[in-house]
């Protein structure tokens, strides 16, 4: 997207950005971000002239996206369940399919009753933050093994003014030894370590430790399912996201570890994406 023939109009800047990217919406978001405009303002005055510095800033963002960098990293944020969350290369980018886990959790948490919730592998804090906002009587403990991820999650919780969240550092259940919860939720790593998709698209820029989990992608799911019963109150729920081809394997694991009411759930694309199970 050359800027040698400045001044450019906003309309021309947008046209050039869209020509470089596969999706016009991405070009719109990046140009709006570079110029500090809302999407409405972006279309209001296409004849507006754009200065050299602004045009170069937009050009640089578009070029980085064309080279493969995730839009969420370039914008520094991603919307999840209607909330804008800060995102950095230190955390997994929240994805629409993970909103299914939030739906499952909210269905099992009464709006006006206290409950203890454990969010394992919180990353940006997306799941925990939405639950904390929607269920203010609940107390949520969020665990992550990455200090950098916890910094992002704490910033997001602070931005949304949430006080019913606690963030702790450690590996899965290690920081909550001896504690029990009414609901445990997790979107753990579940990609097979040799999966070629790890070398494609946005995931190339995300933490590998938040994506891959052993030769079958089941290592972390197996750890959580094995240890969860000793951290759940009787009748407590375990909710897990998994890969689209893993649901049967995860349900079989649950059936052998003191769980009942084991069910698979589909995401909005109709893919097997999550399981719910209850401690006996």
pLDDT value at residue 181: 98
Please report whether residue 48 resides in a domain: yes
Same-domain status, 39 and 96? no
Please report whether residue 22 resides in a domain: yes
The region of weakest confidence among 40-49, 135-144, 222-231 is 40-49
Please report whether residue 2 resides in a domain: no
* Residue 237: domain span: 90-279
Please report whether residue 82 resides in a domain: no
pLDDT in tens, 86-105: 999 999 999 999 999 999 99
CATH of the domain at 22: 1.10.8
Query: Cα–Cα distance between 77 and 88 in angstroms, integer?
Result: 8
Query: Cα–Cα distance between 111 and 18 in angstroms, integer?
Result: 44
pLDDT in tens, 118-174: 999 999 999 999 999 999 999 999 999 999 999 999 999 999 999 999 999 999 999
Please report whether residue 145 resides in a domain: yes
Instruction: Answer whether 138's CB lies under 8 Å from 116's CB.
Output: yes
The domain tally of the chain equals 2
Quick check: 34 pLDDT over 60? yes
Please report whether residue 74 resides in a domain: no
pLDDT value at residue 54: 94
Please report whether residue 84 resides in a domain: no
Residue count (the chain): 280
Same-domain status, 185 and 47? no
Indicate the burial class of 215 (C-beta count within 10 angstroms; 0-12, 13-18, 19 or more). Answer: exposed
Query: Cα–Cα distance between 265 and 257 in angstroms, integer?
Result: 19
Q: Give the global pTM.
A: 0.92
């Amino acid at each position: 997207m050359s800027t040698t023939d400045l001044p450019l109009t906003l309309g021309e800047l947008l046209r050039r950005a869209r020509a470089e990217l596969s999706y016009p919406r991405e070009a719109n978001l990046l140009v709006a971000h570079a110029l500090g405009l809302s999407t409405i303002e972006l279309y209001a005055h296409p004849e507006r002239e754009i200065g050299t510095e602004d045009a170069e800033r937009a050009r640089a963002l578009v070029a980085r996206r064309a080279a493969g960098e995730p839009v969420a990293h370039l914008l520094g944020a991603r919307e999840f369940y209607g909330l804008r969350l800060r995102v950095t290369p230190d955390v997994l980018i929240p994805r629409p399919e993970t909103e299914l886990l939030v739906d499952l959790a909210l269905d099992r948490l009464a709006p006006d009753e206290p409950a203890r919730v454990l969010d394992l592998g919180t990353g940006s804090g997306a799941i925990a933050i939405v639950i904390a906002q929607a269920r203010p009587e609940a107390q949520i403990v969020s665990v992550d093994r990455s200090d950098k991820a916890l910094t992002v999650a704490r910033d997001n919780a602070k931005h949304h003014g949430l006080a019913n969240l606690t963030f702790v550092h450690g590996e899965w259940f290690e920081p909550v030894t001896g504690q029990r919860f009414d609901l445990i939720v997790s979107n753990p790593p579940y990609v097979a370590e040799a999966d070629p998709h790890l070398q494609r698209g946005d995931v190339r820029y995300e933490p590998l430790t938040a994506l891959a989990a052993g030769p079958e992608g089941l290592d972390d799911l197996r750890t959580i399912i094995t240890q969860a019963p000793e951290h759940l109150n009787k009748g407590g729920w375990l909710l897990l996201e998994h890969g689209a081809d893993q649901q049967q394997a995860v349900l079989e694991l649950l059936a052998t570890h003191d769980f009942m009411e084991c069910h698979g759930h589909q995401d909005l694309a109709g893919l097997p994406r999550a399981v719910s199970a209850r401690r006996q």
